[in-house]
Amino acid sequence: MSPPLRLLLDGQALVANWRWLQAQQPGAACGAAVKADGYGLGAKGVAARLGEAGCRDFFVAHWSEAVALGPVAGSLSVLHGVRAEDMPVALAYGARPILNSPEQVTRWRDAGGGPCDVMVDTGMNRLGLTPADACSGLLDGLTIETLLSHLACADEPDHPLNPRQLAAFRDVRGRIAARRYSLANSAGICLRADYGFDLTRPGIGLYGGVPVEGAGTVAVVRIAAQVLQVRAVAVGETVGYGATWAAPRESRIAILNLGYADGVLRQLGPHLVADGARPFVGRVSMDLIAIDVTDAPVGEGDWIELPLDLPRLEAATALSQYEILTGLGDRFDRLWR
């Protein structure tokens, strides 16, 4: 079955974004965060294209994501580490856990697990060992491939937590041996060169997010939705739930196969601009939206494209670029070109 809604994914733009992020930190290898199914684009399609371009370090959140993704070029790391119930898969599967807590470290070592990654928390207070725990001897005997930390405020270049986290990470790096060290996400890559270390881990910038103002990443995702019906609406008649829009003139309204169940939330819909700048009308339904095509030769069965201008949509709504992308549902056909 071919569904009546599509994500049109630009593989060249994806690779161009990866290359741009790589070029910002030329001393570091550039990896890719492909968690949340490649931020909604489809992790397999993303990892295949970036692997072909030379990317060798991939990151997912859960073991279930690692297994669903399958083999990648280079190595795969699991950000959330290992729970007890993950151990059988983690020991057998060709990916590394990123150990986050003393319990995870002990669990991995007691099971005789192989090379691993370790996350140290340098001030975000989310996942990771405290620097004190990391330097207490807890990690003795582990083969650490990558030692990581994560920046809380990299999208605010002047935030004082950035240099504090950098200094804390440098200190830990001087005390714990690992083959490589990694601190920066997309926005971190756009900070000064000394945030790059050996390996960077962009996510949002790869997918057409703009991590900081002026970044050179370009859009990757467009939505295309099929027209289910075109209807004539007389002056003063209303469209949709709540009757929130009334026709100011004799209008032709196209009903598109796309709704909030697909991630086009009610606050997002009105800010999407269909190709040809045809305005959105009324409320977003679960599976449908309406646009005004009075002045356009649009008919039933046509496809309407809705580019996802992430920074503009973020500025216009209360949603982050991350929420908009990862909210895209699973009813789309994901088509790469």
Ligand X SMILES: *Cc1c(COP(=O)(O)O)cnc(C)c1O
Residue in 49, 96, 150, 334 binding ligand X, rule: CB under 6 A: 150
Sign of CA dihedral 266, 271, 275, 281: positive
Residue 204 sits in the site that holds ligand X (CB under 6 A): yes
Candidates 47-55, 157-165, 179-187, 288-296; binding stretch for ligand X (CB under 6 A): 179-187
What is the distance between the alpha carbons of residues 130 and 78, in angstroms, rounded to a whole number? 19
Give the catalytic positions in this structure.
Answer: 35, 241
* Phi, psi angle pair for 270, to nearest 5°: -60, -15
The mark string for 71-110 relative to ligand X (x by CB under 6 A, - otherwise) is --------x-------------------------------
Candidates 159-167, 182-190, 273-281, 296-304; binding stretch for ligand X (CB under 6 A): 182-190
**DSSP 8-state secondary structure symbol assigned to residue 215:** -
Partners of 291 in beta bridges: 254, 280
Residue 325 sits in the site that holds ligand X (CB under 6 A): no
What is the distance between the alpha carbons of residues 212 and 205, in angstroms, rounded to a whole number? 9
Residues in region 5-34 near ligand X by CB under 6 A: 33
> In which element (H, E) is residue 20 found?
helix 11-24
Q: Please report, for residues 277, 282, 318, the alpha-carbon distance to residue 242 in angstroms, rounded to integers and kept in the order given.
A: 24, 8, 22
How near is the Cβ of 170 to ligand X at its closest, in Å? 18
> Would you state the structure tokens that stand for residue 88, as one six-digit string?
């059988």
Candidates 22-30, 180-188, 271-279, 302-310; binding stretch for ligand X (CB under 6 A): 180-188
Residue in 40, 203, 208, 259 binding ligand X, rule: CB under 6 A: 203
Binding site for ligand X (CB under 6 A): 33, 35, 79, 150, 185-187, 201-205
